[in-house]
Amino acid sequence: MKYFTPDIWAGWQSNDDTVVSASMQKWKRNLSAYRKHIHVLAPQIGRAGRFFIDYSLHDGHLLSFHVTDYPVGNLHRKPRRYKTSVAISVLGWVNDNTPYVFCLQYDDILDLNVTAKNDLFSLDVSRFGDWGYDELLKQGKDAFRHNILFATGTEVTIAFKRFHFRKLRRSNQRIQHIVNPLRGLPSADS
């Protein structure tokens, strides 16, 4: 993370007013710099770049993190080329507190890194917790990097060339299908 660092988030929770104040000052500087940065960078992605300007998934719930590496072309022949894609589904809220499922799709992946920590706001059985902060950065000449910081301290970094997103009204059926995609499929014995 470049702008929204774990130390800022942790600093807000301090019992020391000096640490809280320093964290708030750093937050204000970084937020101002990021807002200028994102308004220049996001349009370079195309229409989907509006996601990074219009929406915040802060406090959202990670529903799925899906990586595929499937052969391109005829699936009946020996694959000649593979294509890695990343899809993330998050339950988030929009201005009027209306819940939506945000489906983020990254293609032409250049790099993928998940550093699963549990050292920021530790949880017993989760390595993610709530979606904290995210930032979009430039990655070389024609690619981008999306950094995501979760409440536990886990960081996800995806370097990509193409990005799409969909915002869907939340429904319990949709969420169940995302979090349990095997439900309804025949068992392995069938």
Give pTM, 2 decimals: 0.88
pLDDT at residue 70 tops 80: no
Q: Which amino acid is at 189?
A: D
pLDDT tens, residue by residue, 5-31:
999 999 999 999 999 999 999 999 999
Give the residue with greater pLDDT, 146 vs 75.
146
pLDDT tens, residue by residue, 132-161:
999 999 999 999 999 999 999 999 999 999
Mean pLDDT of the chain: 91
- Quick one: pLDDT at residue 72? 62
Predicted confidence band of residue 182 (pLDDT cuts 50, 70, 90): low
Token pair 């032409």 is found at 108
